[in-house]
Chain A
Amino acid sequence: MVVADTERITAKTFGVEDSHPDWCGGCGDFGILSAVKQALATLGRPPHEVAVISGIGCAGKLPHYINSYGLHTLHGRALNVATGVKLANQNLEVLVAGGDGDGYGIGAGYLVNSGRRNLNIAYLVHNNGVYGLTKGQAAPTMRRGQKTKGMAEAAIQESVNPIGLAIASGYTFIARGYAMAQRDLVSLIVQAVRHRGTALIDILQPCPIYNDLMTIDFFRGRDVGHNRIYRLEDEGFDGRVHDPSNPDEIVAKQQAAIAKSFEWGDRIPTGVLYQVAAPTYEDELAGRLPELGTNSLLDLATPGQDISRLEDAYR
């Protein structure tokens, strides 16, 4: 487990030998785990400089299988905990992971408000349309009228549009990945982590046990004769804002991303939907207290601060 800094960093560096995923066979979480480790290797940060913070559910177990610092927190609260971790120590590479129920349901308020902050973290949402660990209830991503074999009745609530929600919330990097498209997913995770600001990747994944609608065959498009999943870049879609000082370009790119976010059915877009360079929360803090530009609270906030002037102000 102890990894010397000199050791070459590979995906194996982030592996945990004595802890084995208890996900079901064929679960998309395996693909996401593998992509995360591969991305971390590409990024080259040693394990002790990485923190993976997760919510509750199958996806929430992710940090148990990664050699890094990890907190497997509460349902819907991973972004909150990650915010505290990142602000305490800005040198940490903070990844956040959770399911779609975790992030878009019980944690929806934190999804929105984390976007407003634009902290330098990456958030991976494992989107399989169902609550797996509680045996297949509809997640907020389940579309109205849909019914999996585990649901008693078809969904009568509209689904949330996470990409649109992320745009409206101020996310500065928004992408969609697919758990079974490894190489693309690794690339998206690397880009998300390298992006300065809060990045969201909505990762489509099959739940082979409870979601008989979003199956591998569905994504492969057996029924329609072509792969439903396609890459935005292959069609010349460019979600990146090239001139962040140009509000017209920002609005145009946001509108294009939202339009793409509604594409579902025979064709499902993946890749970077939107990206813009904007001041991070850390930048704002450094503007307030310049020392925070180069140091973390961990180093600065030492006990025994001199408060004599504060006391005197009340005399």
Chain B
Amino acid sequence: MAASDNGLSGESIGADSVAGGEHPKRPLAGDDVMKENALSWMIGGPALTGGVNRSAELFAKACARAGLYVFSNVEYHSNIMGRHISYRVRTSDVPVHSHVEHVDLLLALDAETLFGTPEYQDYQRHGGHLHRLAPDGVVVLDSQAKIDHSAIERDDIHVVALAYDDLVRESVEELGVVYNARRHSVMRNMVPIGASCALLDFDINHVVSLVAEVLPAHRQDMVEMNRHVLLHAADQARRAYAKEEFHVTLRPRPERNGHMLIKGVDAVGIAKIHAGCGFQTYYPIAPASDESVMLERHQTTYPIVVLQAEDEVASMNMAVGAAHAGVRAATSTAGPGFSLMAEGLGFASITEAPGPVVVLWQRGGPSTGLPTRQSQQDLRFALQPAHGEFPHIVVAPGDAREAARITHMAFNWGDHYQIPVVVLADKFIANSLVTLDDLGLDDLPIDRGEYWTLEMNGSEPYRRHRLTESGISPRAVFGTPGGQFVTTSDEHTERGRIDEQVENRIAQMDKRMQKLDLASSEIPDEWQYDFVGPDDADVTIVGWGSTRGPITDALPVLESDHGISANFLQIRLLRPFPTTVVHEKLSRARRVVLVEDNYMGQLGLLIAEQTGIKLERMALKYDGRPFSQDEVVEAVCEHHAADIGRLVLSHP
């Protein structure tokens, strides 16, 4: 297949294969054997006023508490109030790391959740979610919202209409309390949960106990009211859907009820505290600031200062200063902020600062782009984030647990190699909730790198950038007696003095760049890549970052439903690149499919650059939405069946 003029292999852009669009014909076949606990649930409604987030997170938590494995992800606009939010909760008896296309149970707080908005009518495929509902699926809607029932032109699904406000009012009055809309309407978000519990045969007490935990002491009187709303909603839902059993039930698994339910931003925050990160800077930006806001809440109990800076230039350079002064420092941002951090990153690298750790939560670019949506567009940018040639580490975790563990290691690498480290995460990891046994931080090593002490060089002046065999010079932390040094963003001598001589320039360039080779040889394989599945397979999927979730979920489905054996090469360390192992794995692979959330196939370009292997088969998504398990299955099936080159996926 000839390369097109934009440098991408495969067909020309106009002739792209575009997959997806039709609503799913059936629930995911892989789940057929265990419809018990295999649920795809979605709630949709307006931001803020709908209480969508609260409902979904409460329901997800109740499922997690009941011992189910949960994966939950949210789609929202860059908007405070009113624009559409959809929040999915997927449960299972086996660990799940992604969403599926179909929905079994859809809770619609407004018409947009079902039909989308008029502006979507310009496109063939609308923006609502009704089409995602699986046959025999149920939509629960608010009969008091302006929803045109006749527009639901599907006879293979069931509609349960509940009067949300009436239901809340009746429940309150049952308790002998005078109904006050301003005070009580907040409990509307219990209605879809109560209805869900009824349809799924799930005990509402899983939810009630959570409400009691969440409400402060002086609001505990509300627990009983919430319980009443839940009971009332459950009762009404049962009556409205009296015909038959819903096709999914939720059965508690008490043996597993101790696991965490956590988002990537919180997992990374905990990892930073554990790693002894004393200084976190940030400038508010979606989807990164949740991580800093989480850390802000712990400043009174842990030795960490979170400084909200005036911009990301300041954030970056403050963190560099703290790192030089001996404190583990970090900052956190998204693409637009990372653009401003470029200059400081080069400064950190040439001055051999130990860190900082920069967590880059990618979102859709370019420019302001899609502020709250998924993408993996910043790989190439992260690899060369500033002018000049300098070493830094770029590492991409595949999920929340990996994000926590890699963040911990990033501090070690920053200290050990005295270079900045970019942890390349994204919105899908940031905002998705997942059940985990733990974050896996306890067993990780702590490495602060080599310190300089006065005894080390006697009467010799300290050389901050001393030429050593490894390229690493023992560092004197600011304040160390006798270790006074100056270093500079200019090219400099071993002693940090500005210098433009050619020999020194070569020596210092070599010294710095050599640290990448050292890192490549020292960083254990588990941080460089992961290989999942059989050694020998029909298809090898290659990816990085958060596509790990949908890809690993897709592997067993490909085998069981499509008879395709597939394995997965996840590249974690992107700089320095694990060239040898990638070359070896790909050379042996029969059919390689590259999966990325971007337009260019950026990992593919990097692999070609590093190994000389050009990946022709791509499954790309740049619609601002993460891959679902089904999309990976679909893409691999299509690539398995035919030579289609560049496949672009979207399921609006």
Question: Residues on A close to B: CB < 8 A?
Answer: 1-3, 5, 19, 46-49, 51-53, 56, 61, 63-64, 66-74, 77, 80-89, 91-92, 109-110, 112-113, 285, 288-289, 291-292, 297-298, 300-305, 307, 310-311, 314-315
Nearest first, the 5 A-B pairs at minimum CB distance are: A84-B321, A301-B278, A70-B486, A300-B303, A88-B325
Would you give the shortest CB distance from A120 to chain B, in whole angstroms?
14
Chain A hits for B262, CB < 8 A:
314
Chain B hits for A56, CB < 8 A:
489
Tell yes or no: B142 within 8 A of A by CB: no
CA distance A299 to B152 in the complex (A): 64
Chain A hits for B261, CB < 8 A:
314-315
Contact A64 B486 (CB under 8 A): yes
A19, A51, A71 interface centre (most CB from chain B within 10 Å): A71
Nearest to A297 among chain B residues (CB) is B278
Nearest to A77 among chain B residues (CB) is B317
Would you give the shortest CB distance from A149 to chain B, in whole angstroms?
28
Would you give the shortest CB distance from A293 to chain B, in whole angstroms?
12
Which residues of B463-482 are within 8 A (CB) of A? 477-482
Which residues of B254-296 are within 8 A (CB) of A? 258-262, 266, 270, 273-279, 281
Nearest to A79 among chain B residues (CB) is B314
Tell yes or no: B163 within 8 A of A by CB: no
Chain A hits for B91, CB < 8 A:
none
Nearest to B274 among chain A residues (CB) is A307
Chain A hits for B275, CB < 8 A:
303, 305
Tell yes or no: B31 within 8 A of A by CB: no
Nearest to A117 among chain B residues (CB) is B307
B298, B307, B411 interface centre (most CB from chain A within 10 Å): B307
Contact B322 A69 (CB under 8 A): no
Given known A113-B309, A297-B279, A305-B276, contact A73–B304 (CB-CB < 8 A): no
Contact A84 B319 (CB under 8 A): yes
Pairs across A and B, CB under 8 Å, 5 listed:
A48-B479, A51-B325, A72-B490, A109-B314, A298-B325
Given known A48-B481, A64-B498, A303-B448, contact A72–B276 (CB-CB < 8 A): no
Chain B hits for A297, CB < 8 A:
278-279, 303-305, 322, 327
Contact A71 B321 (CB under 8 A): yes
Given known A80-B321, A109-B311, A303-B446, contact A88–B484 (CB-CB < 8 A): no
Contact B321 A298 (CB under 8 A): no
Would you give the shortest CB distance from B446 to chain A, in whole angstroms?
4
Additional A-B contacts beyond A1-B462, A87-B322 (18; CB < 8 A): A48-B481, A70-B484, A72-B489, A72-B498, A80-B317, A80-B344, A86-B321, A88-B321, A89-B479, A109-B311, A292-B305, A297-B304, A301-B303, A303-B328, A303-B446, A305-B273, A305-B276, A310-B273
A46, A51, A68, A80 interface centre (most CB from chain B within 10 Å): A80
Chain A hits for B299, CB < 8 A:
288-289
Would you give the shortest CB distance from A57 to chain B, in whole angstroms?
12
Contact A300 B321 (CB under 8 A): no
Tell yes or no: B52 within 8 A of A by CB: no
Would you give the shortest CB distance from A148 to chain B, in whole angstroms?
26
Chain A hits for B303, CB < 8 A:
289, 291-292, 297, 300-302, 305
Given known A69-B484, A84-B321, A85-B324, contact A92–B478 (CB-CB < 8 A): yes
Tell yes or no: B313 within 8 A of A by CB: yes
Nearest to B61 among chain A residues (CB) is A314
Contact B276 A302 (CB under 8 A): yes
CA distance A166 to B462 in the complex (A): 38
Tell yes or no: B505 within 8 A of A by CB: no
Nearest to A78 among chain B residues (CB) is B317
Given known A84-B321, A88-B327, A303-B275, contact A315–B260 (CB-CB < 8 A): yes
Nearest to B485 among chain A residues (CB) is A69
Chain A hits for B319, CB < 8 A:
84
Nearest to B327 among chain A residues (CB) is A88
Chain B hits for A314, CB < 8 A:
260-262, 266
Contact B270 A307 (CB under 8 A): yes
CA distance A237 to B119 in the complex (A): 67
Tell yes or no: B347 within 8 A of A by CB: yes
Which residues of B305-340 are within 8 A (CB) of A? 305, 307, 309-311, 313-314, 316-329
Tell yes or no: B30 within 8 A of A by CB: no
Nearest to A112 among chain B residues (CB) is B310
Tell yes or no: B483 within 8 A of A by CB: yes
Contact B477 A305 (CB under 8 A): no
Chain B hits for A91, CB < 8 A:
479
Given known A301-B278, A305-B276, contact A87–B260 (CB-CB < 8 A): no
CA distance A197 to B259 in the complex (A): 47
Nearest to B479 among chain A residues (CB) is A89
Chain A hits for B276, CB < 8 A:
301-305
Would you give the shortest CB distance from B487 to chain A, in whole angstroms?
6
CA distance A311 to B266 in the complex (A): 10
CA distance A295 to B432 in the complex (A): 38
Contact A1 B461 (CB under 8 A): yes
Contact B439 A71 (CB under 8 A): no
Would you give the shortest CB distance from A213 to chain B, in whole angstroms?
29
Contact A298 B479 (CB under 8 A): yes
Chain B hits for A300, CB < 8 A:
278, 303
